[in-house]
């Protein structure tokens, strides 16, 4: 296990252009819903998390992603530049930039379908040198073989490996053993651990020293080398939850990169994630660092030590 706490954050992962329709509710299978507002927003788990680490977390951040040579790529590049993210883009694959189709309900819930496009072309050999990188943040919208190769390279370079195991899919145990911090929701935890009815027990079954489980409006819990932590959510008027989980991940890694303990990092990430729900769009909803600080001051209850495990 690494305790790297300095240096830049490298996010390696997906970048998509999001096509978003607002509707009264999310369609059920076979149902057609008449929507209202339509907009396009920059998105993709990797790009969203990079924007969050830089904008909400305030740390030097780089993104490694595969993009097409199309107008969608230009939208993503502009968003990343605006957030202060340094981009390393692979383009020699002949594929279009990835896209996501999102329906957002009046209750701020969403349903998302992703067409990966160029994201599927991200390869192990595209990883740049990791000089000066303290934390590498990965997700599962790019080929799993590539994710594993990046985790291995990061571990060998002495960087802290953080995996957001989303979207939900099987993850080889060999990859999990390369991970220092795992971030999942309840569904993803159940898939990896076999059952998530007992959250602490499920987290203990995974071969990762630090496991964080997001619980939506219930906040989050974490197992930190045997110690159970709980962080309540910050109450906000939700408009759009798209990208809230990605904002949580980016802000969490940024806080760890600044040297915060996991309990304090959970509180920062929860504040950033809550603020992300108050504005539309994945990257456009990511708050500024000053907004996160203000909410932390105004804030909710601090994180709590819920007990320890053997």
Residues 86, 58 contacting (CB under 8 angstroms) = no
Please name which of 286, 247, 188 lies closest in space to residue 45, comparing C-alpha atoms: 247
As annotated, the active-site residues are: 246
The answer to whether the beta carbons of residues 27 and 156 sit under 8 Å apart is: no
Helices then strands, counting H and E runs in the chain, come out as 9, 14
Helical H runs in 34-172?
45-51, 71-83, 144-156
What DSSP state is assigned to residue 131?
A: T
Closest to 117 measured CA to CA, from 40, 246, 14:
14
How, if at all, do strands 133-138 and 160-164 pair? parallel
SS3 call for 61? strand
Token pair recorded at residue 145:
């073989």
| Burial call 162-184: b when 16+ CB within 10 Å, e when fewer | bbbbbeeeebeeebbebbbbbbb
CA distance 233 to 23: 26
Give the Cα separation of 196 and 142 in Å (integer). Answer: 25
Pair 198, 228: CB distance under 8 Å: no
Tell me which H or E stretch contains 51: helix 45-51
């Amino acid at each position: 296990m690494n305790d790297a706490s300095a240096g830049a954050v490298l996010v390696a992962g997906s970048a998509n252009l999001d096509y978003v329709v607002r509707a009264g509710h999310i369609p059920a299978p076979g149902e057609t819903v008449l929507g209202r507002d339509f907009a396009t927003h920059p998105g993709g788990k990797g790009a969203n998390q990079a924007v969050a680490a830089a904008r909400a977390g305030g740390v030097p951040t780089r993104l490694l992603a595969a993009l097409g040579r199309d107008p969608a790529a230009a939208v993503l590049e502009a968003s990343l530049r605006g957030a202060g993210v340094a981009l390393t883009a692979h383009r020699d694959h002949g594929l279009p930039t990835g896209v996501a189709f999102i329906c957002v309900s009046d209750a701020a819930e969403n349903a998302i379908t992703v067409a990966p496009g160029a994201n599927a072309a991200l390869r192990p050999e595209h990883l740049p040198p990791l000089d000066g990188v303290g934390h590498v943040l990965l997700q599962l919208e790019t080929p799993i073989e590539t994710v594993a190769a990046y985790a291995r390279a990061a571990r060998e370079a002495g960087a802290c490996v953080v995996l957001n195991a989303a979207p939900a899919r099987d993850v080889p145990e060999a990859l999990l053993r390369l991970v220092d911090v795992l971030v999942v929701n309840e569904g993803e935890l159940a898939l990896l651990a076999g059952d998530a009815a007992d959250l602490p027990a499920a987290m203990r079954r995974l071969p990762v020293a630090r496991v964080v489980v997001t619980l939506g409006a219930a906040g989050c819990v974490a197992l930190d080398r045997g110690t159970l932590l709980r962080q309540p959510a910050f109450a906000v008027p939700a408009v759009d939850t798209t990208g809230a989980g990605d904002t949580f991940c980016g802000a969490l890694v940024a806080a760890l990169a600044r040297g915060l303990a996991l309990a304090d990092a959970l509180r920062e990430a929860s504040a950033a994630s809550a603020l992300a729900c108050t504005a539309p769009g994945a990257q456009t909803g990511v708050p500024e660092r000053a907004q996160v600080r203000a909410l932390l001051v105004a804030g909710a209850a601090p994180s709590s030590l819920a007990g320890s495990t053997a």
